[in-house]
Every structure is written in structure tokens, then in C-alpha cells.
């Protein structure tokens, strides 16, 4: 058997519904790229059990589109728990840290990247 790709993590872009189907065993991760500083979620993995809790944290912080997208995805999927990792700058270090922190979470199957700008 011939291997056509080197080992590693590959990212692809796809268009479709805002959220995939979940069976309760998996929790999605939303990586949020924004320049708005929010100390409680910046550069760390944060778990939420409701969209209302997330919206309370980001209220009036310039993340209106992000909050609306996450609400739509969570509502369509009928899930209650999700993770958010907020990256402040578009640097390799920020994404590397996000992957390092989330790599041990076996319940994360899908990663959704959102850029507020």
C-alpha cells in the first residue's frame, strides 16, 4: 500500500450545515479567532453547558456573529455541551497551543474555526 500523505494533522474546509450530527459522546470545539480581549476565555480551553453561558461571557465584546453562529450550531445539533478556545492573534503559536491543549480530549471529534472579522 502506498502512503500519499505524510503523518500529521490536516485541515480542510467544507460547506454545509452549521453543525454535524452528535450522538452525545462527542463534544464540538469552536476555535474563535478575534482581536477582542476576553480574559476568561483567551488562550484556554473553556467548556460550556449552554449557549446562554457563552453569550454572557462575550456580551458586548464584539463577538455577535460568533455567538450567533455557535447558537445556531448548538441548536441544530441539539447538544448542550461544547468547548471554546479563543486565539487572539493569527500566529502559529496560538494554533499550536490550541492543538496541544485539546489533543488529549477524546470527546472532541469536530473542530469548527470561526474568525469574527
**Residue-level pLDDT at 90:** 67
Query: For residue range 81-116, what is the model confidence (pLDDT) as tens digits?
Result: 999 998 887 678 888 888 888 888 888 888 888 887
DSSP string, 45-96: EEEES-HHHHHHHHTTTT-HHHHHHHHHHHHHHT---EEEEEESS--HHHHH
- Which range among 7-21, 52-66, 90-104 shows the weakest confidence by mean pLDDT? 7-21
Q: Which of 22-26, 37-41, 50-54, 76-80 has the lowest mean pLDDT?
A: 22-26
Query: Which residues fall within 8 angstroms of residue 13, CB to CB, at 6 or more apart?
Result: none
Choose between 4 and 78: higher pLDDT.
78
Q: How far is CA 115 from CA 25, 65, 85, in A?
A: 27, 9, 12
> CB–CB of 20/112 below 8 Å?
no
Instruction: Specify the pTM.
Output: 0.75
Is it the case that residue 22 has pLDDT exceeding 70?
A: no
Segment (H or E) for 105: none
CA distances from 92 to 32, 52, 65, 87 (A): 14, 31, 24, 10
What share of residues in the chain are helix, strand, coil (percent, to 5)?
A: 30, 20, 55
Three-state SS for 100? helix
Amino acid at each position: 500500500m502506498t502512503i500519499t500523505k505524510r503523518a500529521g494533522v490536516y485541515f480542510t474546509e467544507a460547506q454545509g450545515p452549521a453543525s454535524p450530527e452528535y450522538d452525545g459522546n462527542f463534544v464540538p470545539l469552536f476555535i474563535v479567532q478575534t482581536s477582542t480581549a476576553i480574559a476568561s476565555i483567551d488562550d484556554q480551553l473553556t467548556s460550556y453547558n449552554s449557549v446562554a453561558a457563552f453569550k454572557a461571557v462575550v456580551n458586548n465584546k464584539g463577538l455577535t456573529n460568533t455567538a450567533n453562529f455557535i447558537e445556531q450550531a448548538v441548536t441544530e445539533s441539539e447538544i448542550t455541551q461544547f468547548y471554546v478556545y479563543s486565539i487572539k492573534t493569527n500566529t502559529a503559536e496560538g494554533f499550536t497551543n490550541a492543538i496541544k491543549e485539546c489533543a488529549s480530549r477524546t470527546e472532541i471529534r469536530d473542530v469548527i474555526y470561526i474568525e469574527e472579522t
